[in-house]
Structure 1
Amino acid sequence: MAGQTQREMLRWVEAYPSLFSAKPFDATLYSTLSLATAFSGPSLDSGQQRMANAATLWCFALDWQVDYVATSAAEATAIARRCLAVAGGAAPEPDDELGALLAEIRGELAGAEAFAVLDPVWRDELRRMLDGMVREHQWKAPDASRPSFEEYLANADNLGFSFVFVAHWIHAGPPPSVVDIDDVRVASWAVQRVIRLLNDLATYERDVKWGDLNALMLGLDRTDVAQRAHTLAAEARRHLDAVRDRQPALSDYMERQMDFCFGFYGVTDYWGAL
């Protein structure tokens, strides 16, 4: 299934060439992203994983645009504003491939039965992610003060896990109840915080070279951050257990994604070299 979805990713890459022309978008990035999705939902076919892969790929393009293409907070904010408009149904600007791919994703999600219920959640997760990315862009400014570790962790929405997860939820499942929405989102945010720290443990050296922010730059050493990740993982599993009776597939999907990251980030990272 990972092989099938990787080929699909490459078709999106070909359709939006300017989004993925930078050197770090290499073959291994597409392969490992596909493997992560396949591991998270081993009982699903490639069609059921389609939106998870599309949203993940889009998030990587967004991350590149905000972190490395935008040269000011104003440019980062403008990117966020355009994306929110497209997610709300506006047409992307003619030369905006980032908006065009998001519009394609939204168009496919809009055909799902759960879209009417989860569209506000999807757009809220997008807003949270964009706010987090813009906030981190501001933190990285040469004259800016660094956040505390707790402030940085509270900004974990910039990772994009919960945004991708809701896209998958809309595409792969029936409309949920209001109670399920609230409880599943809490579990998703808990998993997202774990993955934020696991990512930082794996990417510290790259983040130093690329000028990124990382939890290991904020007063905690590697042992401290690893211990915090394990503590947060135990908390996340409690939230996942709380929704497993009503939403077993979603709970298992999030837990497998978290467990994949424990192994994956122990040996490698998604991005290629600059």
Structure 2
Amino acid sequence: MTQQDFGVDQIAAAAEHGRICALAADCQRDLQKCAARYPELLPGSPFDPRFFSTVSLANAFGSPWLPADRLRIANRTCLWISGADWMVDYLATSRDEIQAIVRGCLAVAHGAPADTPLSRFLADLRDDLRDDPASAPAFAVLEPVWREELERYLSAEAREWDWKKGSSRPDVEEYLENSDNFGTSLVNVWHWIFTSSPGSLAHLDELRAASRKVGHVLRLLNDLASAERDLKWGDINILTLGPGRADVTARIAELMAECRTLIRPLKDSCHQEAVYLERQLGYSTGFYGITDYWGEV
């Protein structure tokens, strides 16, 4: 804590932090109830109470102005992504299994019946967006964008699986450009469709570009925090592709500057969404400096 920090009204600051943590507690209850509907997809070992707590805290600190009910799509999408990641990174043993996951989810996104826990969860997320009175008008227009973000995420997941199991590895830039597999933009765009005003959604293309750059930062922050876990799971990590920690830290600083450049002009047209991206960067910098989200296997 710096001398300047001591000049802040600590009671007011702590009160606001306490309020956000209480918001996260309400979100955590919803996440645990949601996970209980898909026990085959979300087993208790990696998806322990700490996992639900950390996901809920991240989204509560990202959008502290929203009630818990309006954070449910962000939280549940994070949970869905984690279930998909668990299946792809830890359970799948063949390219055929990966293709079945991708095909099945995309088919459901286009209206096919759900026949797996992962696709059933996806259908429930889609139906929540489609049926909620506040988000239904936006989803009716932006459903193609919703599907595009899903396809980008699934394609990136499959691509990284191929890198992991194949004989060739990506270079650093290819790896960063595949950061859609981290799910940042998927969560952000679905959250905005659910919560944003029509005026803000008119700038969704610019928000998506900024969100994608934010995803590059979060990908690298996560890699630094989860290097040992990734080694144990056999995952690709930026540190396995050549750069050292100092190199990655320097690259994060460069990407942060690029994010600020993209976010700054958005504050005039979609202030809340721009601030959300800034808070996402700040929260993740602090969080990944100490830990990551996953529980023990």
TM-score range, shorter chain: over 0.9
- The alignment of Structure 1 onto Structure 2 pairs a total of residues equal to 271
Who wins on radius of gyration, i.e. which is larger?
Answer: 2
Task: Report if the CA contact (8 A) 1:117-1:175 is conserved.
Answer: no
**Alignment deviations for residues 145-191 of structure 1 (CA, whole Å, 9 cap, x no partner):** 11111110110000001011111111112335786121111111011
Aligned to 1:4: 26
Task: Report if the CA contact (8 A) 1:49-1:168 is conserved.
Answer: yes
Partner Cα separation in structure 2 for residue 174 and residue 259 of structure 1: 24
Shift of 1:116: 2.0
Q: 2:285 aligns with which of 258, 262, 273?
A: 262
Q: 2:74 aligns with which of 52, 55, 76?
A: 52
Larger CA deviation: 71-80 vs 129-138 = 71-80
Partner Cα separation in structure 2 for residue 69 and residue 242 of structure 1: 43
Partner Cα separation in structure 1 for residue 185 and residue 179 of structure 2: 10
Aligned to 1:103: 123
Task: Give percent identity, aligned residues only.
Answer: 48
Aligned to 1:119: 143
Shift of 1:115: 0.5
- Tell me the TM-score normalised to structure 2 length: 0.89
Partner Cα separation in structure 2 for residue 99 and residue 32 of structure 1: 24
Partner Cα separation in structure 2 for residue 144 and residue 178 of structure 1: 42
Partner Cα separation in structure 1 for residue 48 and residue 200 of structure 2: 40
- Please report the RMSD computed on the Cα atoms of aligned residues, expressed in angstroms: 1.3
Instruction: Could you tell me which runs of 5 or more consecutive residues in structure 1 were left unpaired when the two chains were aligned.
Output: none
Aligned to 2:105: 83
Larger CA deviation: 255-264 vs 19-28 = 19-28
Q: 1:201 aligns with which of 211, 224, 229?
A: 224
Partner Cα separation in structure 1 for residue 222 and residue 181 of structure 2: 12
Distance 1:150 1:23, change over 3 A: same
Shift of 1:69: 1.4
User: For 1:59-74, what aligned pairs fall within 5 Å after superposition?
Assistant: 59-74=81-96
- Tell me the TM-score normalised to structure 1 length: 0.96
Shift of 1:89: 2.1
Instruction: Could you tell me which runs of 5 or more consecutive residues in structure 2 were left unpaired when the two chains were aligned.
Output: 1-22
Aligned to 1:130: 154
Shift of 1:90: 1.8
User: For 1:143-182, what aligned pairs fall within 5 Å after superposition?
Assistant: 143-176=166-199, 180-182=203-205
Aligned to 1:15: 37
Shift of 1:117: 2.5
Are 1:230 and 2:253 an aligned pair? yes
